[in-house]
């Protein structure tokens, strides 16, 4: 992948502003540029389970997001899923199918790289209306608090 090649080059080529830290190969986002885009980063649910990690899963559909509706992204299949460790709330992975999945997954990759929790994401204000709001919504969905998702609990 070109992104991995660039990261490797910056750790080894003289004359460039070289990185002193080697790339974290556990946090390499992957994207398939089809229609719709498909993106992922980190662990899948089965891998986490095989490693003994009990996960919370937050799923948020494109069709529930205002920006996605404006873009015509109302297919039943478009979604973002975030996985977090149930004990620590640390993000362990994510998958996305839909418009700009590569951009959405990049934010999750940043969270993985810096060991962020889903609470770190939910406490970060995201511009409205944007597709990046899906990240906050999926993180909130993991703890039952997504505000734009049908069927969410009502809090008094």
Task: Name which of 82, 85, 88 is nearest 140 in CA terms.
Answer: 82
Q: Cα separation of 132 and 68, whole Å?
A: 10
3-state secondary structure of 58: strand
Buried b (16+ CB within 10 A) or exposed e, 141-154: bbeeebebbeeeee
Partners of 31 in the β-ladder: 39
Q: Beta strand 91-97 with 30-32: parallel, antiparallel or unpaired? A: unpaired
Q: Cα separation of 111 and 90, whole Å?
A: 9
Active site residues: 128
């Amino acid at each position: 992948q070109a992104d991995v090649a660039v990261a490797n080059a910056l750790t080894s080529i003289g004359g460039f502003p070289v990185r002193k830290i080697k790339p974290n190969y556990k946090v390499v986002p992957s994207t398939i540029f089809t229609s719709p885009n498909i993106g992922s980063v980190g662990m899948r649910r089965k891998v986490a389970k095989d490693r003994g990690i009990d996960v919370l899963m937050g799923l948020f559909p494109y069709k529930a997001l205002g920006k996605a509706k404006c873009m015509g992204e109302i297919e039943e299949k478009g979604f973002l899923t975030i996985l977090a460790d149930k004990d620590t709330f640390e993000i362990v992975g994510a998958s996305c199918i839909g418009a700009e999945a590569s951009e959405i997954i990049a934010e999750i990759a940043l969270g993985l790289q810096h060991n962020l929790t889903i609470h770190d994401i939910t406490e970060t204000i995201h511009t409205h209306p944007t597709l990046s709001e899906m990240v906050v919504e999926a993180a909130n969905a993991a703890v039952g608090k997504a505000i734009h998702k049908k069927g969410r609990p009502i809090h008094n």
